Amino acid sequence: MKKIFRHSLLVALSVASLGAWAQSRLKVEDAWVRGTVAQQKATGAFMRLTAERDSRLLAARSPVAGVVEIHEMALNDGIMRMRAIPGLALPAGKTVELKPGGYHVMLLDLKAPVNAGQQVPLTLLLEGQDGQREQVELQLPVRALNAQPMHGQPHSPAHMR
């Protein structure tokens, strides 16, 4: 009986440590949310993502917004258009930038204005080529409405899980 218990415990600990290792495979840098003005119902979240292995950003969510989507801005017939996309490829070792005017996370149906100095919780849902999914929990600082990316500012991994 003790042998079975010990074996089960060893298996459980091994699985738990694999989960922790898998969750550290995404590097998030310069993550931030653009501040809003009164009555504004949408804003964007921006960051640089580098996956250790081929992955896909499937979705995002935040308690500050009723709807959260992955968007891209693209030039179509001479007109810049924004549209929701079903996911975003994160090639192994390559940095994918989510920035104003490009790919970004769109926070829609905001429940309240977000102001510079606040923190916005954001959860990213990723899927590896093996089909395993993981969630990355972030706390993004809110920057002023006219803010631009600040390259070289890593996001603390302590906020990821």
pLDDT tens by residue, 66-104:
999 999 998 889 999 999 999 999 999 999 999 999 999
Topology at the third CATH level for domain 26-159: Immunoglobulin-like (2.60.40)
Distance CA 110, CA 21 (A): 34
What is the structure's pLDDT at 156? 41
What confidence tens digit (pLDDT) does each residue in 94-144 have?
999 999 999 999 999 999 999 999 999 999 999 999 999 999 999 999 999
In the chain, pLDDT over 90 holds for what percent of residues? 72
Residue 2 burial (CB count, 10 A): 6
Band (pLDDT 50/70/90 cuts) for residue 145 is confident
Degrees, nearest 5: CA angle 81-121-160: 105
Helix (H) or strand (E) holding 10: helix 2-23
Distance CA 29, CA 18 (A): 24
Domain edges within the chain: 26-159
